[in-house]
Structure 1
Amino acid sequence: MTLTRRFGNFAWLATALFALALLPTAAAQELDFSKFDSKLGGGLGGGFGQTHKEVSISAEFTAPTPDAPAMLFVTAKMAPNWHISSIDQGADGSGGGPKPTVINIDGGQEVKLLAPFQHIQQPTSRIDNEAWIGLELREHRDVVTWYAPVEFAASIDPANASINGKIDGQVCDRSCIPFNMTFTAKLGQGTAIPATPAAVVPAPIQSISYWSLVGSGILGGLILNLMPCVLPVIGLKLFSFAKQGGQSRLHNIWLNLAYTAGLLTVFMVLATLSAGVQLGLSGKGMGWGEIYTYTSFKVAMTALVFAMALSFLGVWEVPIPGFATTGSATDLASKDGPGGAYFMGIITTLLAVPCSGPFLGPLFGYTISQPPIVTYLLFFSIGLGMALPYLIAGAFPAAVSWLPKPGAWMDTLKNLMGFVLLATVVYLFSTLGDKYFLPTLALMFGIWFACWLIGRVPAYAERKQRLKAWGWGTAVAAAVGVTAFMLTVPSKYALAWEPFSPQAVAVARAQGKTVLVDFTANWCLTCKLNLATAINRKDVKEVVEANDVVTLLADWTDQNDTVKNALTELNSQSIPLMAIYPSDPNKEVLVLRDVITQSQVLEALAEAGPSLDPKTAAVTSEKK
C-alpha cells in the first residue's frame, strides 16, 4: 500500500465518520439544535449558571413615594482579585473590547423600567496597551450596585410583588468566565445613591511575561498526555514506538514529526477560533474546551472513538498507525505512514480538549484580553509540550528500547485497547445532555452495523465490492441516526404540554377552553412518530396558540388506571390516540387514532374551534 493511499484512506475515514455523526444533528436543525447543553464545559467552555464562586448577585427594590418612583437595585460582589466590566464599557473602532455587563428584567411582568441602569460605585479606569490599544477599560472590583427607576402597574402592591431579571457579563482575573445569572428582587431598604459620583480610580495593570507563558504552556501540554481523555490514545503511540525499534532514525523522526504536525494543526485552528474577535473573523472568540459545548461535535467524537474501538476489537479493520489491515501483527511494518500519524495527532488532540489540566484554564482565559500573537504563542507552546515526548522518542530511539519487539502480543493488546476506547465512549456519553443520550446511542448501533458490514468484505476484495459495503453501511447508519434524532429530540415547536387528568379536562372545559389530549407512551414508536411528524409542528403550534387551546399529555408509559379509564371512555384500548374536546360542550369529542398526519390534526382543531373568551364562557356555563 502506497503512502498516498494510506493517507487517503485514513483521511477519508475520519471525514466520513465525522460527517456521519454530524448528519443526524444537521437533519434535526428544525428540532431546535441551535441551543446545546453541556455537562462539562472545561476551561472557558464552562462557567454558565446560577451560581459562581467568583461573583454573586443580589437584588431588591424600594417602594414608590409621592416624590419618587420605586427604585430597583442590583448588586454584584466579586471575589478578591476578580473584576467585571462596567455597563458602559465601550468598544474599539472595530467593535472589539471586553464584554460589558448587561442587566435586564424579564418580560411579561407588571412592572417596567423607566430609565437605564446606572452604577453607584464608579468603575476603575485604565488605558489598554495590549489587546485593544488605546481603549479605556472600565472595571468594577469588590462590589458594585446598579440602580434604575421602575413603575408597577396600578393593581400591584409592591409589598407583595417581586421583580425577576437576569445579569449577563464576564468576571475576570487572569482568566475570564462568562456568566448569565438570574435574580429576584423583593421589597427592601435599597442603597443610598450619592449626589456626586466618586472619582474614577486607575486600576492596576496585570501582565505575564512571554517566557512564563511559554513555560506554563509546555508544562500544561506535557500534563495533557496524562489526562484520562488522552490515555486511551497513548496506547496507539506505544504501538508505533514498538515498531520504530527496527527502523532508521530518519524514518522515526519523520513519523513523529507528522504526528506533531497533526497535534499543532488542531492547536492552530483553536488559536484562530480563540483570536477570532481580534482578527475580525467573528463576533466572539472560542475558548479552550468551548468546542465541547457543541453537541454536534460531542456526538461526532463519540462516533469516531466508537468506530475506532470496533476496529480494535476486530469488527472491521482501519489503517491506524501501528496496526495491520489484515489482523496479522507481522504486516504491521508495511501499514504505517506519515498520513496515519498526522491524523492520529489530530484525534489525540481532539480527545484532549475537555481535559485542560492544571495551568491551562488561567492561561486560556488570559488570551481573551491579549493580541493574536500571544494567543498563537500560547496554543503553539501547549501543542509543543504535548508532542515533546514523541519528538524525543523519534530523535532518540534508545529511549523506547524497553518496549518489546513487534509480534503476536500486539494483537492481544490491540483488543484490550479496544475496551479502553469503549470506556472513553462511556465518558463521552456522560458529556451529552439527557435529551441527546438515546438518539446518540441509537446512532452507535447504526455505526456498529455499518462497521460489521464493511468488515465482512475482505481488504483484498475488488474496489467495487468494498465501495458497495461502505455505501450500504453509511446509508444504514445515517438513516438510523437521523430517525433517532427526529423521533426523540424535543422539537422547538413542541406544544406546552400539561399532565393529563379528568379534573384538568373538566376545569378547562368549564372555562370555555378547547382541550387537546394526546395519549402516548415512551415505548410507543408510533406515538413518537405522530409527535415528530404531525403534532409538534410549526403550523399546529401556531393554531394551538392562536385558538388558546389547552394541551394535555396522557402518559401511559407505566401502568396508569386513570389513563386506561379515559381511553375506555373514548371506546379505545390502545394508543396512539388524540382526543380534542371542543369549547362548545354541545359538540362531540373528536378522536384521531393510530398514525395521523398534520393535516388531520389541523382539520380537527378547525372543527373544534377556538376557546371561548371569558365572558362567553361564563354565559355558556350559566345556561348549562
Structure 2
Amino acid sequence: MYGVSIIAIYTIVGTLFSVLFGADFANFLSTHWIPNLFFFAIFIIFALSFFGLFEITLPNKFVNKIDSKSNKSGVLGIFFMAFTLVLVSFSCTGPIAGTILLQAANGDTIQPIVGMLGFSLAFALPFTLFAVFPNWLKSLPKSGGWLDTVKVVLGFIELALALKFFSIVDQVYHWDILNREVYLALWIVIFAFLGFYLLGKITFPHEQKQQKTSVGRIISALLVFSFVVYLIPGLVGAPLKALAGYMPPLSSQSFVMNSPQVTSISNNTMKTAECGVPKYGDLLELPLGIQGYFDYTQALECAKKQDKPLFIDFTGHGCVNCREMEATVWSDPKVLKRLKEDYVVVALYVDEKTELPEKEWYVSAHDERLKKTIGGQNLDFMIQRLNANAQPYYTLVDTNGSLLNAPKGYDLSVQNFVEFLDNGLEEFKIRNTKDVLVNSDSEGVNHNPIIN
C-alpha cells in the first residue's frame, strides 16, 4: 500500500498537469517566449540546486501537518506516510519530477501522466521490494559522496537541457542569439566540465576532494569526453543526426562545410523564378537546400503551373520530431531527390509569431478567435482542413487541393516515406489521366470533375 500510494500521488499530479496544460494550450506553452523563458529559468535553478548552491524544500509547517496525519491507522495513515515521503524528498526528486511535468508543454496529454507513472514506479519499487523481502535491507549501499556525485551530474544535464527552451524562443522570434555554433559551443563546454568533474579535477564547495578516482568515474568520464568529441564536428556543419531534434536547425549556422544549400540553388532557380519569390522567404527556410514556399496559396498556384503534386510540411520552430525527420529521413538521397524533383514543397510553420497585415486577419470558425499571425493561420488551416494539430504532419495534395493519400506523421523509416511519396505521385498521375479523358469525352462540353 505504501508503494501504491507513492505511485498514486505522483500520477495524480501528472494527470492534473495534463488537464491544465493539454493540447489546446500546447502551442502557446511550447512556443511563446513567456513559458519558454520561465522553463529555461526553472532548469537553471534546478541545476544550481543540484550543484549545491541551495536546496529546494517545501515549508516545514506544511510537511509537519501532513506528517501528523500519517499516525492514523489503516490505509489512510499509510497514504499520508507516503505523502510525507514525497514532500520530504522534494529537494531531490523535485527537479527530476519537474522536468517530466514541463514536458506537458509539448502538447501530449498522455506524456506527463505516463512520465510521472514511470518515475513514481521506479521511486516506489525499492520500498515495496524491501517490504516483501526485508532481509534485502542488509545489502543496501551506504549513503555518502557518491550521492553528491549523482546530483552534480544531473545538474550538468539540466544545464544543457535548459538551452533547448531558450533556443525555441530564439528561433520563433528570430532573435538570432543562440545559433547552432553558439549552442554547440555551450554544450561542448558544459559536457567537458562534466568530464573534468568526473575525473576529480573540479570539486564543488559542499564536496570533499577525492584522493583517488574510481574506475566507475573514469569510465563515465571517457563516455562524456567521447560525446564531446562527437559534438565538435558539428561546429563545421556535421549534421549530428542523433541530436538533430535538440539542436537549432543547420540553416542557422553561418559556416557549413560542403553545404547542400550551396550546390542545390542553381538546380532550383528556374522553379523559384517561375512562381515568383517565396512569400515569407526572408523569415523562413527549408532544410537541405530544398527550394520551396511558406504560403499555401502561392505554393498551390506554383503546383498548377508546374503540373506537380504539392507536398505540405506542417512544421514548427520548436518541433523536435520535425528536425529529427529532416536530419534522418529527408536527408536520405532517395527522399531528397523525390522532394526536389517530383513535388512542389511548402512548409507551413504553425508557431511563427510574425503578425500579418490587418487586412489578412480573420476570426476562425473553429474556435471563434482572431487569427493574425502566420503560425496562427497555418495551425487553424491544419485543424479545420485536416482535423489534426500535431507536428510533423506531411500531406500530399493535387492541384485542386484534394488529398492524394492519407497524411503521414512522425516515422523514421526511409522506406515508408519513399512509399508515401511514390504512392502520392502515382495517384496524381492517375487523376491527371482521368482528367484528360473526361475533358476530351465530348467536344464543346466543359467538364469540371470534383475529386473527393
TM-score normalised by the chain length of structure 1: 0.27
Greater strand content: 1
Asked which structure has the greater RCO (Cα within 8 Å, sep 6+), the reply is: 1
TM-score normalised by the chain length of structure 2: 0.36
